[in-house]
Structure 1
């Protein structure tokens, strides 16, 4: 079974999270995941970028500790690591999502 590397909660770095969320496409992914109760496959996201660029964005979010990805069959399922990020940086995700919503996205 294939596995993907994720940083442990104590190893998530603020600079990496902020850099990952500084890109509008990655913020869009995180915002969409924040509204989902279930894991979402990469292919369910309609993004304004090519498939290879979308894969890059998901990888950046995973490596920063913003999302968790796991294989289910041939699909990669994504979930927001909101509890881990809230533990590590209280209020950060909500502040990012509030700013995104205020910007009208």
Structure 2
């Protein structure tokens, strides 16, 4: 079985987490995983990018320590490393997800009212 490398909790760095969360596509993945609350296959998250670009975004999130990825058969399943992130950076993940949700709502309503 193929195993992917993940940083140990003590190796997760704030600057890497913030860099990963600064990209709108990666932030959308994090929002989706937070709402799902468990493991989600990559194919369940609809990103408007090519497969190779999507793979890059997942890799950045995994290498930053934001998500955990495991293979189950042929599917690669993703989940948030919420426990690790909350222990290292209390409130950061919830604040970023809440802010992204507010921005997403504003962007959506602006598109529909224009």
TM-score bracket for this pair, using the shorter chain length: over 0.9
Shift of 1:37: 2.9
Instruction: Establish whether residue 102 from structure 1 lines up as the match of residue 90 from structure 2.
Output: no
Task: Give a deviation string over 1:39-98, Cα, whole Å, max 9, x none.
Answer: 001111111101110000000000000000000011100000111100010010011011
- Structure showing the higher helix proportion among its residues: 2
Q: CA RMSD for the aligned pairs?
A: 0.9
User: For residue 55 of structure 1, what is the aligned residue in structure 2?
Assistant: 55
TM-score by length of 2: 0.89
- Unmatched 5+ stretches in structure 2: 106-114
In structure 2, distance between residues paired with 1:104 and 1:60: 22
User: For residue 27 of structure 1, what is the aligned residue in structure 2?
Assistant: 27
Moved over 3 A (4+): none
Equivalent pairs, count: 105
Shift of 1:38: 2.6
